[in-house]
Amino acid sequence: MSRTADIVVLPSNLKFCRLTWESSGDIIQKVASYEAVHRVHGLVDIRRRLGLHRRCFYFLHEALPRESLVIVHVALTDQIASNVQNITKDEDLNYPEANDSTAIYYSITSTQKSLSGVDLGNLLIKSVAAQISREEPQINTHATLSPIPGFRSWLLRALKEPQNFGNVISDFCLEHLTSITKQKVDPAQARKLLLNLLCNERIELEKIEIVKPILQRLCAQYLCVEKRNGYALNPVTNFHLRNGAEVFRVNWRGDTSARGLYNSFGLMVNYRYVLENVNTNSSNYVNKKVVAIDSQVKNLLFDPMDFAGQNVWNDYTCDQGNWENFSSNDFPLANQWRAPRPVKVAQRKAPPTVGADGLTKAERRQKNREAAEAARAAKVERKLANIRRQEETKKLQTEKKNQKAQKECDRSMQQLNRRETRKC
């Protein structure tokens, strides 16, 4: 997707719509109730989200003409937003939209669980970016303001069980805690201090402010380094990287709601879509498992000014995040802070056991997974087919009623004509 090719081809049965305050009341009510990222608080709130400097788009399916399938909320601003409070609660919006230069996608919600395997979010984001680029040509930056679900639970697990989830206590963490406590802290003490501070279900920002640099660096590690099968461990990160975005910035106090504090200590992240690089970033991530990250996030992972005052990133393309250009062995500090994995003693593995069906346990698991995916896809197809049949049945019934009504009308006219003829 580029600025020169803004046309997005949609399937014929999908309809791309913009929601406004003049839209049908039932659709507005459903969109408000479906909002899963940032809850809508009444009519004033939903009207603000549909007003000046705000946009809301959604997909409709011909089989469900009054049900939105996936919804995205967009804020038009003059810079990449760092917290959601300014977007959802900002009331000072009486200025021209021509001053806006950035589109912030701050909420993406899928409403139909049965379509969870269908990647409609990617298609909607591209459609919205193309639409906004056409309607508002001054918008030259597209980025999200996204939550980080799972960060808090991942960090607490790693602190409680480093032997199972890896050691996240780096030299940077030890040095920061030593400067706070005014005494030397070892890894075990650091884990205990952090657990005492972060384990409370009711997080108080003022108390955890002292470990802000540690949390920001660990969050960058969680987003960019922690992987599952070579791809980002966090599902939201994986979604946006597959779509061609780059990890742009980690924001402190991004979401200070109770939910935001519980999920990620209030941290949020911006994923930036550079339209000219979307296809390249997506291909590199899907095929080569290369994560595109901005220099702001790289500087959280490795402090570039710690190397004798020289910026080690000068030789690398920060916007592309090409991690293949360097090895951590080239930079001593990288090996100091990066969380070492627990040493595992190599053991001779027994050959996999073959069951009565002639399959190993791994092969059987893969077969079951494929069968489950096929069953899920078939279920979705059956549901859509059933909906189409119901619509066709209703259509036929309506046609029969219309035909019957037309016949009655014709019969009445014929009788009236006969009466007129007799009188004459």
Same domain, 313 and 404: no
5: β partners: 2
Same domain, 38 and 162: no
Condensed to tens digits (0 to 9), the pLDDT of residues 296-339 reads: 999 998 754 443 333 334 333 344 334 443 333 333 333 334 44
Domain assignment present for residue 2? The answer is: no
What's the pLDDT score for residue 416?
A: 80
Domain assignment present for residue 361? The answer is: no
146 is catalytic: yes
DSSP letter string over 141-154? Answer: EEEE-B--TTHHHH
DSSP 348: P
Q: Can you tell me the distance from the alpha carbon of 105 to that of 268, in angstroms, rounded to the nearest whole number?
A: 13
142 is catalytic: no
What's the pLDDT score for residue 116?
A: 65
What's the pLDDT score for residue 163?
A: 84
Q: Tell me the residue range of the domain where 41 lies.
A: 14-143
Same domain, 155 and 139: no
Q: Can you tell me the distance from the alpha carbon of 107 to that of 72, in angstroms, rounded to the nearest whole number?
A: 6
The percent of residues above 70 in pLDDT, for the chain, comes to 84
Q: Which residue in 397, 84, 396 sits closest to 270, CA to CA?
A: 84
Cα 406 to its chain centre, rounded Å, is: 53
What's the pLDDT score for residue 349?
A: 60
Condensed to tens digits (0 to 9), the pLDDT of residues 358-373 reads: 778 778 888 888 888 7
Domain assignment present for residue 362? The answer is: no
- Strands 102-110 and 141-144 come out as parallel
Domain final residue pick, 337, 360, 382: 337
Same domain, 239 and 328: yes
The model's pTM = 0.70
Domain assignment present for residue 251? The answer is: yes
Same domain, 112 and 169: no
Condensed to tens digits (0 to 9), the pLDDT of residues 62-86 reads: 888 888 889 999 999 999 999 999 8
Same domain, 302 and 388: no
Same domain, 75 and 164: no
Catalytic residue among 73, 142, 240, 264: 240
Q: Can you tell me the distance from the alpha carbon of 241 to that of 237, in angstroms, rounded to the nearest whole number?
A: 6
Strands (E), 274-386: none
Cα pseudo-dihedral 151, 156, 162, 166, rounded to 10: 0
The CA-atom distances, in angstroms, between 354 and each of 180, 349, 350 are 56, 15, 12
Determine which of 146-150, 260-264, 307-311 has the lowest per-residue pLDDT on average.
307-311
Decide if pLDDT at 198 tops 60: yes
Condensed to tens digits (0 to 9), the pLDDT of residues 163-181 reads: 888 889 999 999 999 999 9
Decide if pLDDT at 423 tops 80: no
User: What is the pLDDT averaged over residues 136-143?
Assistant: 95
Domain count, the chain: 3
CA atoms in the 13 A half-sphere facing the CB of 172: 23
Decide if pLDDT at 9 tops 90: no
Catalytic residue among 146, 170, 264, 282: 146
Domain with residue 135: its CATH number is 3.40.630.150
pLDDT band at 235 (very low <50, low <70, confident <90, very high): very high
DSSP 351: P
Decide if pLDDT at 389 tops 60: yes
Domain assignment present for residue 84? The answer is: yes
pLDDT band at 386 (very low <50, low <70, confident <90, very high): confident
User: What is the pLDDT averaged over residues 368-389?
Assistant: 81
What's the pLDDT score for residue 303?
A: 54
Same domain, 190 and 60: no
Domain assignment present for residue 417? The answer is: no
